Structure 1
Amino acid sequence: MEFADLDLSKDYTYADYLKWQFNERLELIKGKIFKMSPAPSAIHQWVSGVIFNNLFNYLKGKPCKVFSAPFDVRLSRLINDKQVSTVVQPDICVICAPAKIDKRGCLGAPDIVVEILSPGNNKTELQNKYEAYEEAGVSEYWIIHPSEKTFLSYILTDGQFQASRLLTAGDEVTTPLLPGFTLNLTEVFENEIFNED
């Protein structure tokens, strides 16, 4: 079966997703298939690397773990793979409940999800992910926009995301989920690759 053979109007589950052997990277959001962007740009990889490295170093010896894409996150409160209709591969996620981590990735909501936007992200995908993360109970959803050099976080409050103020180079990111953690956005956004055409 080829990717082109899939009926994109149909709803799929994680059980279907496990059967696919495509070259393309896919995400399943509320049963709908979204093709992921081609290989990330150098800027995307730089931003991801800086954030992952900061989180990894902070979390050494702590119960929370950090993972980077490709890493399947199955958003469901159910254990049955036939019931899971959302499988995403966030750029980075932090998981503080070891029971959610298994050999296939994460089952349930990570504590922090980090998405780094690229030109290939479409509005439907972004809206669906926002809703899926909110519904699943992701505590913090960080969105980084490399071309605009901005950082926005959504904090889950009473079951709904509340946006933080927009941060940029010169600002520092902190979170009550990781006491003492600081991410310097100048380190994230100030690199010579940002100045190349």
Structure 2
Amino acid sequence: MMSWVNTSPLVKTYTLEEFWELPEPPDHSKLELIAGVLYMTPPPGYRHDNAVSRLIRLLSEFLLQSKDTGTLYVPRAAIWTTPNTYLEPDLFYVSAETEARLEPNRRTTADLVVEVISPGSAIYDRNTKADTYAALGVKELWLIDESNHSVEVRILDLDRLIPGALLTSSDEAKSTVLDGFNFTVERLFD
């Protein structure tokens, strides 16, 4: 029997407890919850996974070499807050200082969040999720566009993530959160 999940906020909103009880969609689409509203995005594709894998490698190497004591979280790790918000960024980094302020076993914010934008998730990632990350106090957001081979960097200013640089293949991406972390954008896509 196939289960059906209602994603219309006009029909149903969810608590975290209700959300955690939902069955996984048969096609492995990703379910997320923002202010009780359920969002479903298609499963990532090959190019998406490659960009995430390459960035994991670059960030891991940097964190090891710099002896940074923060933590890099990979796909399926989540940022969540009660009573009704649960997000699974493609990648996120939490500094040791931020981690020390969080409740044990509960990540409610991050210093850096990375979303790889696919054609099926572009509006959701650029608007709904970006606004939610700002409300949660995420300091820096990278939106990696696999179609255009670009990286958009947004920096938190008060309660908004302000669009900064739009970087293309030959440009160098730099983090304001991870001092010294930089790479040429084309390394994510070659």
TM-score of Structure 1 vs Structure 2, range by shorter chain: 0.7 to 0.9
The Cα offsets for residues 138-194 of structure 1, whole Å up to 9 and x where unpaired, read as 1001101111111101100122221112101111111231111112212112x2xxx
By relative contact order (CA 8 Å, sep 6+), the higher-ranking structure is 1
Answer whether contact 1:34 1:125 (CA < 8 A) is retained. Answer: no
Counterparts of 1:121-160 in structure 2, within 5 Å, are 121=121, 123-124=123-124, 126-160=126-160
Q: Which amino acid in structure 2 is aligned with residue 54 of structure 1?
A: L
Which whole-Å CA distance do the structure 2 matches of 1:101 and 1:58 have between them?
Answer: 27
3-state SS in 1 of match to 2:55: helix
Equivalent in the alignment of 1:21 = 23
Any unmatched runs of 5+ in structure 1? 192-197
Alignment correspondent of 1:57: 61
Going from structure 1 to structure 2, the CA distance change for 1:32 and 1:131 (only over 3 Å counts) comes to same
Q: How does 1:1-197 map to 2 (within 5 A)?
A: 3-6=3-6, 8-9=8-9, 10-23=12-25, 24=28, 25-38=30-43, 40-60=44-64, 61-74=67-80, 76=81, 81=82, 83=83, 85-96=84-95, 97-99=98-100, 100=102, 103=105, 106-121=106-121, 123-124=123-124, 126-189=126-189, 191=190
1:183–1:71 distance in 2 versus 1, CA, 3 Å: same
Amino acid at match of 1:71: A
Aligned equivalents of 1:173 and 1:145: distance in 2? 13
Question: Gaps (5+ residues) in structure 2?
Answer: none
Quote the Cα distance in structure 2 between the aligned partners of 1:122 and 1:152.
12
* Contact kept? 1:117, 1:146, Cα under 8 Å: yes
CA RMSD of aligned residues (A): 2.1
Displacement after TM superposition at 1:101 (Å): 7.6
Q: How many corresponding residue pairs?
A: 180
Asked if 1 retains the 8 angstrom alpha-carbon contact of 2:141 and 2:153, the reply is: yes
The DSSP-based 3-state class of the residue aligned with 1:164 is: strand
TM-score under structure 2 length normalisation: 0.84
Structure 2 match to 1:195: none
Q: Check the 8 A contact 1:3/1:22 in 2, yes or no.
A: no
SS at match of 2:49: helix
Task: Provide the secondary structure at the position in 2 that maps to 1:52.
Answer: helix
